[in-house]
Amino acid sequence: MTIQTVGIIGAGQMGNGIAHVFATSGFDVRLNDISTEALQSAIERIEKNTARQVAKGQLSEFERDASLTRISTFSDLAELGGCDLIIEAATEEEPLKHRIFADLLPSLQPETILTSNTSSISITRLASRTDRPERFMGFHFMNPVPVMQLVELIRGIATSRETYETLRDTVDRLGKTAASAEDYPAFIVNRILIPMVNEAVYALYEGVGSVAAIDASMKQGANHPMGPLELGDFIGLDTCLAIMNVLYDGLADTKYRPCPLLVKYVEAGWLGRKTGRGFYDYRGNAPVPTR
Amino acid at 98: H
Report, as an integer, the average pLDDT of 125-146. Answer: 96
Amino acid at 59: L
From 16, 122, 140, 198, the catalytic residue? 140
Average pLDDT, the chain: 96
CATH 1.10.1040.10 corresponds to the domain 191-289: yes
Report, as an integer, the average pLDDT of 153-181. Answer: 97
Least confident of 76-80, 89-93, 152-156: 89-93
Single pTM value for the model: 0.89
pLDDT at 281: 97
Residue 288 has pLDDT above 80, yes or no: yes
205-254 tens-digit pLDDT: 999 999 999 999 999 999 999 999 999 999 999 999 999 999 999 999 99
Minimal CA–CA distance to 264: which of 279, 284, 248, 282? 279
From 119, 120, 122, 198, the catalytic residue? 119
Cβ proximity of 289 and 211 under 8 Å: yes
- Supply the DSSP symbol for 118: -
Domain with CATH 3.40.50.720 in the chain: 5-181
From 16, 32, 88, 152, the catalytic residue? 152
- Supply the DSSP symbol for 277: B
pLDDT bin (cut points 50, 70, 90) of residue 75 is very high
- 281-286: Cβ within 8 A, 24+ apart: 282/233
* Active-site annotation holds for 140: yes
pLDDT at 217: 98
Residue 86 has pLDDT above 80, yes or no: yes
Residue 1 has pLDDT above 80, yes or no: no
* Active-site annotation holds for 117: no
pLDDT bin (cut points 50, 70, 90) of residue 272 is very high
Angstrom distances, CA of residue 254 to CA of 151, 192, 195, 207, 248: 29, 15, 11, 21, 7
Task: Give residues with Cβ within 8 angstroms of 160, minimum separation 6.
Answer: 134, 135
pLDDT at 56: 95
pLDDT at 130: 96
Residue 150 has pLDDT above 80, yes or no: yes
Minimal CA–CA distance to 65: which of 74, 53, 73? 53
The pairing of beta strand 71-74 with beta strand 28-32: parallel
* Active-site annotation holds for 119: yes
pLDDT at 92: 87
pLDDT at 32: 97
Question: What are the respective helix, strand and coil percentages of the chain, to the nearest 5?
Answer: 50, 15, 35
Domain with CATH 1.10.1040.10 in the chain: 191-289
Cβ proximity of 277 and 290 under 8 Å: yes
Please, which residues bridge with residue 5 across strands?
A: 28
Residue 3 has pLDDT above 90, yes or no: yes
Q: What are phi and psi of 8, to 5 degrees?
A: -125, 125
Amino acid at 35: S
H helix or E strand, kind and range, residue 63: helix 61-69
**CA-based torsion, 11, 17, 19, 20: positive or negative:** positive
44-60 tens-digit pLDDT: 999 999 999 999 999 99
Report, as an integer, the average pLDDT of 150-161. Answer: 97
From 67, 117, 190, 198, the catalytic residue? 190
* Active-site annotation holds for 190: yes
Strand order in the sheet with 113-116: 71-74, 28-32, 5-9, 85-88, 113-116, 136-141, 150-155, 177-181
Q: Which CATH homologous superfamily contains domain 5-181?
A: NAD(P)-binding Rossmann-like Domain (3.40.50.720)
pLDDT bin (cut points 50, 70, 90) of residue 29 is very high
Cβ proximity of 177 and 151 under 8 Å: yes
Alpha carbon distance, N-terminus to C-terminus of the chain: 52
